[in-house]
Structures are given as structure tokens and as C-alpha cells.
């Protein structure tokens, strides 16, 4: 039985490596970041998911499935492709994963571009406005400027303990601020959160 010579073995290994690189390159062109945006969105379901997220920023995964009447596995696959290729991004809101379409700021000057902190605050407000109790609290404070703990409890029709939970979370995200006056605690939107909330309300 004859074994390949050293040169033949080296040539075989080289050919194998080149074939692997070619396969990797083909896969990268198909699924990687050098894949053109319009090509990624040629797929019908994927395009529908992207458009849904673009028009409804902050949607969580299950709501996307319900909106498009698609199975979770199908949506999960296409969301993964969109996210890996930089067309969408996700943030965590408690137990929910919420999605945003990536928007280009190339037309804005450096001074006009929002900071990462402002973008994060805006996304936190958007996701909060999609949940009943935080939406009621933020909307009320946008109109009335300040409100006591008890007033917020009455407005949202939930217990004071529930208000404590929600206000602590909103404070941690930089959306609201609190001030104690005597035995009562009063809440208001932070300055930046008020500007963002008012612009979102006007846009709708």
C-alpha cells in the first residue's frame, strides 16, 4: 500500500484549507455583515419583521409573533439574522426582550447626533410606554409636572406597593426623579425624560 509523499500530502491539506475558506466566504456573504441590507430584506418574512419593528419601536418578541401571526421559531431565526447583520438591536426590559431598528445618523453633524445616554433613555421611555402602569405614570407626570405617591396610586388604580416597584424602576432608568416633602414623596419626570416624552407624544 502506497502512502502520499510529503509534497502530495501538503498539497492535499492546502486544497482542503482553501476549500474551507471559500465555503466560509460564501456563508459570510450570505449571512454575514458584508451582505447588503436590501438583499437581507429580500426575504418576505424577514422584511415584514423589520418593517414591523421599524414602525413599532420597542416591541417585544411575542408581540412581533402575534402581530405577524408567525411561529416563534420562524421569528426567532429571522430576528437573529437581522440582529447579527446590524439592522436591528435589542434591549432587556425585565423579562422581555424589546427590539429597535437601527437608524443611520450619518446625515447629522456630530453636534446634532444624540449621545448614547440619550438614545438609551429614549429607548427606556419607549419600552415603558408600552406597559400599562408605567405608561399611566409617565403620561400623567408629563401633563401635571409633579404628583404624590398616593395620587399616582389612584391614577394607575394599583396599590401603593405597586407604585413603589414601578417608580423605583423608572428612577433607576433615569426617567423620573423623586423629592420628599414632609412625610410624602413627590415624583416628576427628569428634564431629559420630559423633552423626550413630549417629542414622542407630539409624534403620535
Q: Walk me through the domains of the chain, giving residue ranges and CATH numbers.
A: 37-101 (1.10.10.10), 116-203 (1.10.10.10)
Cα–Cα distances (Å) from 12 to 2, 5, 119, 157, in that order, read 16, 11, 53, 74
pLDDT of residue 149: 96
Which regions of the chain are under pLDDT 50? Answer: 9, 13-14, 16-33, 106-108
Neighbours of 106 (CB within 10 A): 6
pLDDT at position 190, please?
96
Q: What φ, ψ does residue 183 adopt, rounded to 5°?
A: -95, -5
pLDDT for 201 equals 83
C-alpha distances out from residue 165 to 10, 113, 129, 160, Å = 66, 33, 16, 9
The predicted model scores a pTM of 0.71
Confidence at residue 28, expressed as pLDDT on a 0 to 100 scale: 43
For residues 145 and 123, give the distance between their C-alpha atoms in angstroms, rounded to a whole number.
21
Q: Do 97 and 61 touch, CB atoms closer than 8 A?
A: yes
pLDDT score of 203: 77
Task: Annotate 169-184 with DSSP letters as a single string.
Answer: HHHHTTSEEEEEETTE
Rounded to whole angstroms, the Cα distance separating 145 from 61 reads 33
Q: What is the pLDDT of residue 2?
A: 52
| Pairwise CA distance, residues 137 & 189, whole Å | 10
How far the first Cα of the chain sits from its last, in Å, is 79
Distance CA 92, CA 99 (A): 9
pLDDT at residue 103 in the model: 74
CA torsion, ordered 39, 45, 46, 51, to nearest 10 deg: 100
Asked if residues 162 and 133 have their Cβ atoms less than 8 Å apart, the reply is yes
Grid coordinates given for 45: 418574512
pLDDT at position 126:
95
The pLDDT score that the predictor gives to residue 115 is: 82
Amino acid at each position: 500500500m502506497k502512502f502520499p509523499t510529503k509534497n502530495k500530502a501538503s498539497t492535499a491539506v492546502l486544497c482542503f484549507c482553501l476549500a474551507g475558506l471559500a465555503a466560509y466566504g460564501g456563508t459570510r456573504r450570505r449571512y454575514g455583515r458584508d451582505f447588503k441590507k436590501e438583499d437581507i430584506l429580500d426575504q418576505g418574512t424577514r422584511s415584514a419583521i423589520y418593517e414591523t419593528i421599524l414602525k413599532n419601536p420597542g416591541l417585544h418578541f411575542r408581540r412581533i409573533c402575534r402581530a405577524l401571526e408567525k411561529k416563534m421559531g420562524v421569528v426567532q431565526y429571522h430576528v437573529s439574522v437581522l440582529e447579527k447583520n446590524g439592522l436591528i438591536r435589542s434591549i432587556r426590559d425585565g423579562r422581555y426582550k424589546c427590539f429597535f431598528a437601527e437608524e443611520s445618523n450619518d446625515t447629522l453633524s456630530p453636534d446634532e447626533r444624540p449621545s448614547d445616554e440619550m438614545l438609551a433613555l429614549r429607548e427606556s421611555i419607549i419600552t415603558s410606554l408600552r406597559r400599562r402602569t408605567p405608561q399611566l405614570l409617565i403620561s400623567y407626570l408629563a401633563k401635571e409636572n409633579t404628583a404624590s405617591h398616593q395620587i399616582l396610586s389612584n391614577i394607575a388604580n394599583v396599590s401603593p406597593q405597586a407604585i413603589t416597584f414601578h417608580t423605583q424602576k423608572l428612577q433607576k432608568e433615569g426617567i423620573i426623579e423623586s423629592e420628599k416633602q414632609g412625610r410624602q414623596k413627590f415624583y416628576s419626570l427628569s428634564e431629559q425624560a420630559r423633552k423626550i416624552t413630549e417629542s414622542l407624544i407630539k409624534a403620535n
